Structure 1
Amino acid sequence: MNAAGYVGGMTSATQQLAPALEIDARLTEIERSLNLLLNNTPVNAAEAWTDFERGDFGAAPTLRLRPLEFEPDLVRRELYGLEIENVADPALHTLFRAKRDEIARQITALEDRDTSRFVYGSLQLYGGVAPPLASAAEELLETIPAQAPNNRSVTAGAFAEAAREEFERYRAVYPDFPAHIEVRDDISELMVSFGRLLIPESATIRADRVEPLLHHEVGTHVVTYQNGARQPLTLLTIGLPGYDETQEGLAVLAEYLTGGLDPRRLRVLAARVVAVGKMLDGAEFLEIFESLRADHRIPTRTAWSIAIRVVVGGGSVKDAIYLRGITRILESLAEGSSLDVLFVGKFALDHIPLIQDLLDREVLEAPWVRPRWLDVPGAQERLDRLRKGASVTDLYEGDVIA
């Protein structure tokens, strides 16, 4: 749906912003054409793991990425042809310029895949690992004892069925809530792309992780996408600039509030930060992989998964945003911030004043869907505890599932 089609049924405040909303719609369409997440996901991870295991973990894998289906120069021309200078609303003018800059960085990063330049683009998009974050990650790995591998797992098909049931729970309350689930052979990680839940065909998912992952993927990423889709500002579906950190922090919070942020998961989030730090220090795949196993006692398959996510494309820092995101969410909660505004769509904590202003002016509406994870037994009690002040280390509640 384009912006102009949406304006007719909206408030006079929204109608006045019609020209701005046309640019919003074009920015959204351009970013959709890039599909940064899918285009930086290996298409051969399952085969690469088999070869790596068969070779007794002695040779770094070759990860293949899908060809780009857009012409970078044409997209840039269209991007900079948008007349953002004519947007009169100061907040939206600033936002659109920042979003245009972010999309331009995405284009360059995708062009630079599999070169030494890619890591610099990743740093511009996601930020680095500051000393406090590195220290928090090390503290988590030292505090939480290494966990024995959990061999109880479910297949991609079983997880897809559990996801269908989760979507139906939402549809029982919100009948128009769309359900899009795909089991695919060309991805290596569970992900949500433009409101669609994508499940790797080769996935084996820990049985005790199914419910937390559903709250993470469906209850956070899909819910905020669908809430954003109900807004006239379509960028709220794909995310305002720098939204990823807040989204992943919110999704990790969902895991914690529902009792699913267990010691293994916390160690993985910390190990991702450590792995990103090692990559930035010049370590390559095998060194990162072996360090995770030897220094931090991360199980072999998990160490593999963490390491390939960090070296893909030439070096990705994205995985540091999970621990950084939940850290900032905890700080926000301790400062008395409400979670409700974060469900309007996909944006960063820094955008809350802008979103609140647009809500107050009735340009945006209150969220359509309330995440189910807020109402799971015990969730509000856990949330109340966090509001009194907590660090990421405080999320560790012992060697039983939190």
Structure 2
Amino acid sequence: MSTSTELLESARQVDARLTELERSVNLLLNVTPVNAAEAWADFERSDFGTAPTLRLRPLDFQPDLVRRDLYNLEIEDVADPALHSLLRTKRDEIARMVTALEDRDTSRFVYGTLQLYGGVTAPLARAAEELLEAISPQAPSAQTVTAGVFAEAAQEEFDRYQAAYPEFPVSFEVRDDVSELMVSFGRLLIPETAAIRSDRVRPLLHHEIGTHVVTYQNGARQPLKLLTIGLPGYDETQEGLALLAEYLTGGLDPRRLRVLAGRVVAVEKLLDGAEFLDIFESLRTDYRIPTRTAWSIAIRVVVGGGNVKDAIYLRGISRILDLLAEGGSLDPLFVGKLALDHIPLIQELLEREVLHPPWVRPRWLDVPGAQERLDRLRAGASVMDLYEGEEAA
């Protein structure tokens, strides 16, 4: 049998090049509007009657050259079957990303996002409707913090990780060209115009830093660098894990659950042919979602010509709950960015010492009450069980 060193040597160059190519494509930033604040102001001035014009940044890569590089990679030379399959599947996923980005602002874009993220199944749609029906609408919180205050809280959270792991890098910035909190290749990006609910600050730090940044940094310590950018289809599991972090730390409150359900409803309406104004008005009138929240949900779904990604949040936490009820361990999910379907492969590679155990343990596993909540979920739970009444969880 080949040694782990020999196996990695055969895959190393392909892995490094795939990682580099996905970084150049940068799907997340390239489907994020650069004018969201101005678009909201215009929409508000129109008395919510004129659909916004959302601008996306120009692509800074040449799609044909990326495709050429992708299919010039000699994946056939990777002898190990598990690594060969993984690298080939990732190559094909990056090719789909490139095509989707080429199709931005056309009717074809939504089909590209369907290939990347999947659609809305009947059980998922029912779960979303049940949440929206069971949880009564609540007035938007009047207490918010600015981007600067959130950045200070982020610095403190990074400091906590550095205290336990001195080499853990601090990586965040306030940006004027993003409209939502996000982590891009391990760096936390904070919108300059952010107005974040005060009671959401800690849960969001566990979501963004404690999950997305931590798994990125754990992946960076692995021989396979694809674990930093994500194995094929990793997004759903990452977001489900991040929502679990919110729940375990008491931050998956009724308002948040309604947003997650509203995102599924919005994607379903998009796939049924609805446009921005119809989606926005339905969220406001049929589901009594606050105006600014309905706006945020709707633009995320229609951007670029239609993006179904937001359905993965509720689907992701549902599948994490299934994993816990089946007695599955979360530990393999901290190795890097991967999907639930990759757990057997990751466990095999850990046993063969091709991969290393996770470097950083997320802080959200150890906050007071987290293990008790986790035990309750292991006894069996659905997304409806995450709703704990009208008080914040």
Q: TM-score range by the shorter chain?
A: over 0.9
1:134 counterpart residue number: 125
1:180-219 equivalences under 5 Å are 180-219=171-210
Query: Unmatched 5+ residue regions in structure 2?
Result: none
Could you tell me how far apart the structure 1 residues matched to 2:99 and 2:3 are? 39
CA contact 1:13–1:363 (8 Å) conserved in 2: yes
**Conserved in 2, the CA contact under 8 Å of 1:181 and 1:197?**
yes
Distance 1:305 1:289 in 2: 9
Q: Which whole-Å CA distance do the structure 2 matches of 1:174 and 1:14 have between them?
A: 27
* Pairwise CA distance, 1:13: 1.3
Alpha-carbon deviations, 1:1-29, whole Å to 9, x = none?
A: xxxxxxxxxx9513442121211111000
Identity over aligned pairs, percent: 81
Distance 1:332 1:19 in 2: 33
Alignment counterpart, residue 336 of structure 2, candidates 323, 326, 345: 345
Tell me the residue number matched to 1:147: 138
Give the count of matched residue pairs.
392
Q: Is the 1:25–1:235 contact (alpha carbons within 8 Å) kept by the matching residues of 2?
A: yes
Write the distance in 2 (CA, Å) between the matches of 1:188 and 1:335. 37
On the 8 A contact 2:7/2:79 being kept in 1, the answer is no
Deviations 1:235-260 (A, max 9, x none): 00000000000000000000000000
User: Within 2, Cα distance between the matches of 1:79 and 1:33?
Assistant: 12
Alignment deviations for residues 303-358 of structure 1 (CA, whole Å, 9 cap, x no partner): 00000000000000000000000000000000000111110000000000000000
Deviation sequence 1:55-95 (CA, Å, 0-9, x none):
11010000000000001001100000000011100001111
Alpha-carbon distance in structure 2 between the residues aligned to 1:14 and 1:22:
13
Q: In the alignment, what sits opposite 1:370?
A: 361
Contact 1:84–1:96 (8 Å) recurs in 2? yes
TM-score by length of 1: 0.97
Displacement, 1:115?
Answer: 0.1
- In the other structure, the counterpart of 2:279 is 288
2:7–2:80 CA contact under 8 A, matched in 1: no
In structure 2, distance between residues paired with 1:145 and 1:69: 45
Task: Tell me the distance in 2 between the aligned counterparts of 1:13 and 1:272.
Answer: 43
- Counterpart of 1:42, as a letter, is P
Aligned to 1:247: 238
The 1-side partners of 2:290 and 2:6 are apart by 55
Whole-angstrom distance in 2 between the partners of 1:248 and 1:309 = 15
| SS of equivalent residue, structure 2 residue 173 | strand
CA distance, structure 1, for counterparts of residue 77 and residue 358 of structure 2: 29
Q: Distance in 2 between matches of 1:17 and 1:213?
A: 36
2:34–2:56 contact (8 Å) kept in structure 1: yes
SS at match of 1:182: strand
1:222 to 201, 213, 217: 213
1:76 partnered with 2:67: yes
8 Å Cα contact 1:14-1:362 kept in structure 2: no
Cα deviation, 1:160-186, whole Å, max 9, x if unaligned, reads 000000000000000000011110001
One-letter amino acid of the structure 2 residue matched with residue 395 of structure 1: L
Q: Which amino acid aligns with 1:283?
A: A
1:264 aligns with: 255
Q: Unaligned 5+ residue runs, structure 1?
A: 1-10
In 1, are the aligned partners of 2:172 and 2:187 still within 8 Å (CA)?
A: yes
TM-score by length of 2: 0.99
3-state SS of paired residue (1:296): coil
Computed over aligned residues only, the root mean square deviation of the Cα atoms, in angstroms, reads: 0.8
Choose which of 265, 272, 293 in structure 2 pairs with 1:274. Answer: 265
User: In structure 2, what is the equivalent of residue 386 of structure 1?
Assistant: 377
In 2, the alpha carbon distance for the partners of 1:15 and 1:153 equals 54
Per-residue CA deviations over 1:258-294 (Å, capped at 9, x if unaligned) read: 0000000000000000000000000000000000000
Take 2:197 and 2:191, find their aligned partners in 1: how far apart are those partners?
A: 14
- SS of corresponding position for 2:286: helix
Aligned to 2:310: 319
Query: How far does residue 140 in structure 1 lie from its aligned partner after superposition?
Result: 0.3
